[in-house]
Each structure stands twice: as structure tokens, then as C-alpha cells.
């Protein structure tokens, strides 16, 4: 068996007062995040996108397999094609595939089959999950807890995008296999999320939502 060498690790630590300041500041920052559907065409430098993707890839993953690929699209023609195909699928979702109850739950959010953000936002990141991989000889290798791992990396990506002062949206066109085909991805990759990234439009609005209180989401066993 191939055992990797372990090395010493000194985690960053803070005094309790400093910790309190930091958790408050981070909560305030994250509590300002909103899913945005109205984007500006204003460009965002590629270095910003590179760095938020590096941050996402610091996520923990099953057996450290990092079972993800981030497909990053800025090409206008490709964005247009992606939008057309996504809207075709969504048309079928909103007009038949989604249940009455689901449509009711979505009503306050105000989504529909029109996905103009796909060709307006300067960047589209498609997060791909790799259900398996290939070794140097082309033999299939296993990945583990792929959904959990890619979900965590996606959360970290969203946090990094927000931290940069940009906005995004978790779009889940379903079924998403048209994306893998369009992007000519190999058979071990499946689309997981599509994230438009950029600035919010100046006239952007968001639904008036409230977040659950701590009491509603946490149970302490002291
Ligand atoms: N995939 C569709 C529908 C949709 C589903 C959920 I759950 C949402 O929170 C929002 C939208 C779409 O992206 O429009």
C-alpha cells in the first residue's frame, strides 16, 4: 500500500475575543449573500475566477480524490448555445416535468424558464462531478462520497465568489447532460451545478426572504 508521508501542521489559532470578532464578521459577510438572477455585462478579470476556483478546490473530499472539474466559459457563442439548450430543458420542466407543489414552492422566488443570465454574466462556471477517474494507463479508479465532496467544494466556491464582491446563482438545469455534450467532457464527468458569475445589474432585485433562526436549525446536546 502507498502510504503518504505525514508532515507537521500548525493550524492558525486566535484568542477567544479575536475568534468572536472573526465569527461575527464572517457571519455578517455571508448573511449578505443572495442568489442573484439579474447580471451586469461588466467584465471580471480572469485572475479573480482562477483564484475562487483554487479556493473551491481546497475543499475536503473522499480519500482526497478531488472529484471535480470546473468548466469555465466566457466565450459568447458558447454561452448563447448553453442558454438556448438550458431554456429548452427548463421549458419542459416548467410546463410539465415539475409538480404543481414544486411550482408553488418556487412561486415566491419568481423563477421561470428564461435564463438570460447565462449569456449576460461574463463568466459561467459549470461544476462537474467525476463519478470515477482514470489512472495513467487509462484504467478506471474509484472516487468516494462524490456528491458530498462536490457539494462542499461548490459551497466554498460560492463563498469565495461572494467574498470577492461578486454575485452568483446556483442554477440546476435538469437533466443536465446536454452540458457535458456541449462541452465535450469525458464519460466520467457529469454536470453538477451551473454558476453564472459577475456583478449584479444596477436594477437587480431579490425576493424578500427570511432565514431560519438558530433555534429552528440547531439542537444542542450539552
Ligand atoms: N431548475 C429550475 C427550477 C428551480 C428549482 C429550484 I429547487 C430552485 O430553487 C430554483 C429553480 C431553474 O433553475 O429554474
DSSP state, 121? Answer: S
Domain 41-201 - what CATH class? Answer: alpha beta
Domain ranges of the chain: 41-201
What mean pLDDT do residues 95-114 have? 92
What pLDDT shows up at residue 177? 87
Across 66-186, where does the E strand assignment appear? 68-73, 123-130, 132-134, 140-142, 167-168
Nearest-angstrom CA–CA distance, 157 and 59: 9
**Considering only CA atoms, which residue is closest to atom 6 of ligand 1?**
106
Which atom of ligand 1 approaches the CA of 171 most closely?
Answer: 13
Closest CA to 125 of 91, 165, 166: 166
Q: How many angstroms separate the alpha carbon of residue 111 from the centre of ligand 1? A: 7
Q: Which residues contact 30 (CB under 8 A, 6 or more apart)?
A: 159, 162
Distance (angstroms) between ligand 1 centre and the Cα of 179 equals 17
212 pLDDT above the threshold of 80: yes
- Ligand 1 midpoint to CA 46 (Å): 28
Distance 44 CA to ligand 1 centre (A): 26
Q: What is the pLDDT of residues 145-204, one digit of tens each?
A: 999 999 999 999 999 999 999 999 999 877 888 999 999 999 999 999 999 999 999 999
Rounded to an integer, the average pLDDT of 58-68 is: 98
Whole-number Å distance between alpha carbons of 76 and 123: 10
Tens digit of each residue's pLDDT (9 = 90 or more) over 27-43: 999 999 999 999 999 99
pLDDT at 2 over 70: no
- What pLDDT, on the 0 to 100 scale, is given for residue 193? 96
Task: Tell me the pLDDT band of 217, cut-offs 50, 70 and 90.
Answer: very high
Q: Are 44 and 123 in contact (CB under 8 A)?
A: yes
Give the global pTM.
Answer: 0.95
**Who lines ligand 1 at CB under 6 A?**
90, 93, 106, 109, 111, 171-174
87 vs 94: CA distance, rounded Å = 10
- pLDDT score at 1: 65
Amino acid at each position: 500500500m502507498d502510504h503518504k508521508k505525514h508532515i507537521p501542521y500548525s493550524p492558525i489559532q486566535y484568542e477567544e475575543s479575536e475568534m468572536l470578532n472573526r465569527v461575527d464578521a464572517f457571519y455578517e459577510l455571508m448573511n449578505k449573500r443572495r442568489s442573484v438572477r439579474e447580471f451586469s455585462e461588466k467584465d471580471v478579470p480572469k485572475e479573480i475566477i482562477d483564484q475562487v476556483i483554487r479556493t473551491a478546490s481546497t475543499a475536503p473530499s473522499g480519500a482526497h480524490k478531488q472529484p471535480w472539474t470546473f468548466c469555465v466559459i466566457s466565450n459568447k457563442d458558447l454561452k448563447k448555445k448553453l442558454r438556448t439548450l438550458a431554456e429548452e430543458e427548463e421549458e419542459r420542466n416548467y410546463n410539465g416535468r415539475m409538480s404543481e407543489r414544486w411550482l408553488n414552492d418556487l412561486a415566491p422566488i419568481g423563477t421561470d424558464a428564461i435564463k438570460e443570465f447565462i449569456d449576460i454574466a461574463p463568466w459561467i462556471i459549470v461544476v462537474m462531478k467525476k463519478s470515477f477517474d482514470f489512472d495513467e494507463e487509462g484504467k478506471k479508479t474509484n472516487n468516494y462520497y462524490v456528491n458530498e465532496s462536490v457539494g462542499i467544494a461548490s459551497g466554498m466556491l460560492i463563498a469565495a465568489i461572494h467574498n470577492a464582491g461578486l454575485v452568483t446563482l446556483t442554477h440546476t438545469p435538469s437533466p443536465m447532460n446536454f452540458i457535458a455534450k456541449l462541452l465535450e467532457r469525458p464519460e466520467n464527468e457529469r454536470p453538477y451545478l451551473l454558476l453564472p458569475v459577475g456583478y449584479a445589474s444596477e436594477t437587480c432585485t431579490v425576493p424578500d426572504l427570511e432565514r431560519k433562526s438558530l433555534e429552528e436549525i440547531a439542537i444542542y446536546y450539552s
